[in-house]
């Protein structure tokens, strides 16, 4: 009756262990990608002589991919360099056009400045002439004032003389 019952283990694992009948030990252990590549490149003596064709094809494929990546990168960089050179040339043309326009504007401003300078020079001359005229007028006014003063003195003298003559005429 004991054959009918299965002995349960007291583990908390939800899965039951599989019976080991030796199949697990007969399977070849598989390694990762790098260990497989290492074993491909360095076969052990126990594995025997391997064929050189897969190794050489892998190396050629790797070299082709590396060269293709390099060629693509160089092609892309050349295109970018051409685009940058083209943009630089465009900017230089724009700068030259702007420099010409600025040169023309500077020439116009210089012409206007020369006109303003000549106008200021003529105004300065006129102001000097006006100042001389005003100064001359002042001198003239002063001379006239002196003459008026002299005439006023003569008038006063004449009035006093006239008064004396009137007094003398009355006295007669």
Q: Identify whether the C-beta of residue 43 lies closer than 8 Å to the C-beta of residue 50.
A: yes
- Residue 172 falls inside a structural domain: no
pLDDT at 48 over 60: no
- Residue 126 falls inside a structural domain: yes
Give the Cα separation of 133 and 139 in Å (integer). Answer: 10
Burial profile 59-82: b = 16 or more Cβ within 10 angstroms, e = fewer: eeeeeeeeeeeeeeeeeeeeeeee
- Residue 5 falls inside a structural domain: no
Number of structural domains in the chain: 1
- Residue 52 falls inside a structural domain: yes
- Residue 2 falls inside a structural domain: no
Give the Cα separation of 72 and 78 in Å (integer). Answer: 10
Structural domain range at position 98: 32-166
Q: Is this model's pTM higher than 0.75 or not? A: no
- Note the pLDDT tens digit of each residue in 128-157: 877 666 666 677 778 888 888 888 888 888
pLDDT of residue 81: 97
Count CA atoms within 13 Å of residue 42 on its CB side.
3
Number of H helices, E strands in the chain: 3, 0
From residue 170, alpha-carbon distances to 6, 157, 159, 163 in Å are 186, 20, 16, 11
- Residue 115 falls inside a structural domain: yes
- Residue 84 falls inside a structural domain: yes
- Residue 75 falls inside a structural domain: yes
Q: Identify whether the C-beta of residue 43 lies closer than 8 Å to the C-beta of residue 57.
A: no
pLDDT of residue 120: 86
| Most confident of the following: 2-11, 68-77, 102-111 | 68-77
Give the Cα separation of 28 and 107 in Å (integer). Answer: 92
Q: Is the dihedral of CA 33, 34, 40, 46 positive or negative?
A: negative
Give the Cα separation of 115 and 62 in Å (integer). Answer: 79
Q: What are 90's two structure tokens?
A: 């465009």
Q: Identify whether the C-beta of residue 65 lies closer than 8 Å to the C-beta of residue 57.
A: no
């Amino acid at each position: 009756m004991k054959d009918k019952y299965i002995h349960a283990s007291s583990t908390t694992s939800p899965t039951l262990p599989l019976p080991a009948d030796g199949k697990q030990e007969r399977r070849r252990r598989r390694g990762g990608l790098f260990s497989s590549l290492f074993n491909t490149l360095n076969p052990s003596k126990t594995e025997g002589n391997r064929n050189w064709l897969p190794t050489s094809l892998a190396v050629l494929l790797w070299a082709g991919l590396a060269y293709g990546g390099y060629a693509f990168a160089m092609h892309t960089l050349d295109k970018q360099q051409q685009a940058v050179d083209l943009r630089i040339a465009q900017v230089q043309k724009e700068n030259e056009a702007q420099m010409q326009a600025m040169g023309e504007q500077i020439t116009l401003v210089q012409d206007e400045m020369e006109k303003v300078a000549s106008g200021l020079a003529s105004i300065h001359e006129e102001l000097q002439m006006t100042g001389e005229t005003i100064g001359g007028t002042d001198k003239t006014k002063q001379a006239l004032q002196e003459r008026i003063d002299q005439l006023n003195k003569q008038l006063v003298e004449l009035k006093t003389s006239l008064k004396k003559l009137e007094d003398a005429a009355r006295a007669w």
